[in-house]
Amino acid sequence: MLPTNTDVQKLSDEEFVAIRDFIHERSGIYFAENKKYIVENRLIRRMSELGVKSYKDYFYLIKYDTTHKEFNHLMTLITTNETSFFRNPPQLKAFAKEVLPLITKEKKAAGNKRLRIWSAGCSTGEEPYTLAIILKEEMPDLSNWSVDILGNDISERVLYAARKGIYGEATLRSTEPRIVQKYFTREPEGFRISDEVKKLVKLSHGNLSDTRKLGVFRNIDIVFCRNVMIYFSDDVKKNIVRQFYTSLLPGGFLFIGHSESLHGISKAFKLSYFKNALVYRKEPARTGRSSLSARVSATGATAGNSVAARGTATHAATSTTDRASSIAERTSDTLKKLEKMREMLAAKR
Ligand SMILES: C[S@@+](CC[C@H](N)C(=O)[O-])C[C@H]1O[C@@H](n2cnc3c(N)ncnc32)[C@H](O)[C@@H]1O
């Protein structure tokens, strides 16, 4: 007989810290002291299922299981997988109507028709499939492009659901009926995503905090990492954002959750002020700068866009060249400020 919840003792502070730190080290997910009850509840349930009687035994199980199977299962229990199709429409509008036309125009001009998008922390697949649908809707010449939408997640359970691609009505609540009609078929189990959308998306299991294993995510044009980093400590966020910077091509874009910010996390990206949303952006390559930056101000034609194109943030660069341009940019900003002060003093005199 399985032990009942009462067979398991209360989680002591020491045990909590040991397990919490281990989870943090392996996954980047951090539970503050006031979230102890979440860890305790999830562990009690899981230990009851397995017949494990003490937290210490369970800790050893996740720590020394070389297959990582139980740890992966625990991740499934402690992560929040809330998601839906067309989540946060303004951001997706910025993607569809502003970012995508910019990137594709730029690439076409360079004779490059390869587009790579990364949905980091893709949960049950709604985000990468939404992006695939948007590409199908917005790019009439899509068949002439080589497109990869890469989705990864730490939870095997959500990936299983994503691969299955059958969804309930609730997750389609923000999706236009026309889109549902076009890209889904109704089945007894739910709404099945069409194969033409599915084939644009490649799903894989992966831990964002294990950046050594994220090498496959390179030459990326756009990263979506929305509503994922909220669970991470600042140090882990910094590492992951650094990874995004490395993965992105010059001029690439980073979408994070609409209530999230890189403040205090990274200065590597600049904010681009689009009509529908603010989006972080990696500096375009110096040589080809004129093109994409100029077009941001030309097409957006708002003061915000010009500010974005000029850029205000410094550049936490990963290469010597990047660092040098960052210093040059800061020096030029400082000189501009000094010039302005000089003008003001002269006017006063
Ligand atoms: C709240 S969902 C967000 C899904 C989607 N990005 C969206 O905004 O709709 C967060 C996802 O991040 C995943 N996640 C959490 N920690 C992760 C990690 N270290 N590596 C990869 N995925 C992670 C969770 O499993 C979960 O599916």
User: What is the residue extent of each domain of the chain?
Assistant: 5-78, 89-310, 316-349
pTM of the model: 0.79
Q: How confident is the model at residue 287 (pLDDT cuts 50, 70, 90)?
A: low
| Alpha carbon distance 293, 291 (integer Å) | 6
Using a 6 Å cutoff on CB, does residue 227 contact ligand 1? yes
Q: 89-310 falls under which CATH superfamily? A: Vaccinia Virus protein VP39 (3.40.50.150)
Given a cut of 50, is residue 250 above it in pLDDT?
Answer: yes
Site to probe by mutation for ligand 1, drawn from 22, 77, 130, 154 as the one with most ligand atoms within 8 Å of Cβ, is: 154
- Contact between 247 and 277 (Cβ < 8 Å): no
Is 5-78 a CATH 1.10.155.10 domain?
Answer: yes
| Alpha carbon distance 250, 56 (integer Å) | 47
pLDDT digits (tens, 9 = 90+) for 57-96: 999 999 999 999 999 999 999 988 999 999 999 999 999 9
- Closest C-alpha among 260, 253, 239 to residue 318: 239
Report the DSSP pairing between strands 220-225 and 114-120. Answer: parallel
What pLDDT does residue 7 have? 58
- Using DSSP's 3-state secondary structure scheme, residue 84 falls into coil
- Closest C-alpha among 102, 92, 132 to residue 116: 132
User: How far does residue 146's CA lie from ligand 1's centre (Å)?
Assistant: 26
Given a cut of 80, is residue 310 above it in pLDDT?
Answer: no
Q: Is the dihedral of CA 304, 306, 312, 317 positive or negative?
A: positive
What pLDDT does residue 222 have? 98
Whose alpha carbon is nearest atom 8 of ligand 1? 226
Q: Higher confidence at residue 279 or residue 4?
A: 279
Residue 273 phi, psi (nearest 5): -95, 95
* Mean pLDDT score of the chain: 85
Given a cut of 80, is residue 335 above it in pLDDT?
Answer: no
Q: Which residue spans within the chain are E strands per DSSP?
A: 114-120, 146-153, 166-167, 184-187, 190-193, 201-205, 220-225, 248-256, 270-273, 278-281
Q: How confident is the model at residue 9 (pLDDT cuts 50, 70, 90)?
A: confident
Q: Higher confidence at residue 28 or residue 135?
A: 135
- Nearest 10 degrees: Cα torsion 169, 173, 179, 182: 0
DSSP 2: P
Whose alpha carbon is nearest atom 12 of ligand 1? 121
In a 13 Å sphere around the CA of 86, the CA atoms on its Cβ side amount to: 16
Using a 6 Å cutoff on CB, does residue 208 contact ligand 1? yes
Buried b (16+ CB within 10 A) or exposed e, 277-311: bbbbbbbbeeeeeebbbebbbeebeeebbeebbeb
User: How far does residue 78's CA lie from ligand 1's centre (Å)?
Assistant: 11
Using a 6 Å cutoff on CB, does residue 322 contact ligand 1? no
